Amino acid sequence: VDHKSPHLCVMLQFEWAIQQKFTRGDTGVFGMAGSGTWARETIMPWQGAVKIDDDIPFPVASLVGCAVMTGVGAAINTAKVTPGSSVVVFGCGGVGISVIQGARIAGAATIVAVDMVDSKLETAKTFGATHAVKPEELDDLKGELTGGDGFDYAFEAIGLPVTMRAAFDAVRRGGTAVVVGVGKMDQMVEFNAFEIFFAEKVFMGSYYGSTDVRSDFHRLLRLYRAGKLDLEGMITAEMDISGVNDALTAMKSGEVVRQVLTF
């Protein structure tokens, strides 16, 4: 049955991912999402191959395939952020920054970035956040901006139960909280039975930004060409593949938005 949501196709998500095509000795080597990166060549299904035009730099195109597609798509496709609305984003890494850009493109009037790292909050402002605060400052800002009612939309781009719950609490009655971050299967988020009924909030997930790669990849590149989607600004550093361990260390420390490895 065609439900017009190719990103939710279980076969596309998992069939190729669980078939380990490479080995190291007798041990199977798992490729991220069934394709993997950090290689000059890879094997993938035709649905995952997107031809880009010559005027698109490869470093820019490389960002679109994951973080940008996920974050911008969460705002535009999943939540369908409306012009003039208010948005709060938990987590200002590459995905969170992409959510902020998606909300800006959609016309949100207020975009609040929440993170624990000062440098990330400053970065969020350069991509469209109208306000940037640490978690403990959010309640006061919510009161100031919404009269305590809450935001229209909240996005969780970290993957932790505590921030998923915080996203739910941050939206107004009838608001929408979207989980973009990937949590663990043994982690639980708790709600009481009454608040689910009474608040009439929408609490939903966003898998890969609810996107169709075959059309949305080029749509995002058109936004880039039009100057509405800043991709080059998201690249904190480019380095040779030999520096991959340094890149991972920088990523874990929160020093960067996105890094590009070259061969």
- pLDDT digits over 168-205, tens only? 999 999 999 999 999 998 999 999 999 999 999 999 99
Long-range contacts of 173-177 (CB under 8 A, 24+ apart): 173/149, 173/199, 173/200, 173/201, 174/199, 174/200, 174/201, 175/150, 175/151, 175/201, 175/202, 176/79, 176/152, 176/201, 176/202, 176/204, 177/153, 177/201, 177/202, 177/203, 177/204
Distance CA(259)–CA(137), nearest Å, equals 30
Share of the chain above pLDDT 90, in %: 65
Distance CA(125)–CA(137), nearest Å, equals 16
Instruction: Identify the pLDDT of residue 65.
Output: 86
The residue-averaged pLDDT of 235-249 equals 89
Instruction: Identify the pLDDT of residue 261.
Output: 87
pLDDT bucket at 18, cuts 50 / 70 / 90: low
Extents of the domains making up the chain: 6-62+212-262, 74-209
The residue-averaged pLDDT of 127-147 equals 97
| DSSP annotation string for 120-154 | HHHHHHHTT-SEEE-GGGHHHHHHHHHTTS-EEEE
Distance CA(112)–CA(117), nearest Å, equals 14
Instruction: Identify the pLDDT of residue 46.
Output: 79
At 191, the amino acid letter reads: F
Instruction: Identify the pLDDT of residue 20.
Output: 65
Residue pair 87/153 in contact by the 8 Å Cβ criterion = yes
The residue-averaged pLDDT of 228-235 equals 94
Instruction: Identify the pLDDT of residue 252.
Output: 83
Instruction: Identify the pLDDT of residue 134.
Output: 98
Q: Mind listing the pLDDT tens digit for each residue in 44-77?
A: 777 778 899 999 999 999 899 889 999 999 999 9
pLDDT at 12 over 70: no
Instruction: Identify the pLDDT of residue 109.
Output: 98
The residue-averaged pLDDT of 138-161 equals 97
Question: For residue 52, which of 224, 239, 234, 241 has the smallest C-alpha distance?
Answer: 224
Contact residues for 206 (Cβ-Cβ < 8 A; gap 6+): 70, 73, 74, 77, 78, 79, 178, 179, 180
Question: For residue 206, which of 85, 102, 51, 59 has the smallest C-alpha distance?
Answer: 102
Fold annotation for 74-209: Rossmann fold (3.40.50)
pLDDT bucket at 39, cuts 50 / 70 / 90: confident
- The tokens of 25 are what? 């000795």
pLDDT bucket at 116, cuts 50 / 70 / 90: very high
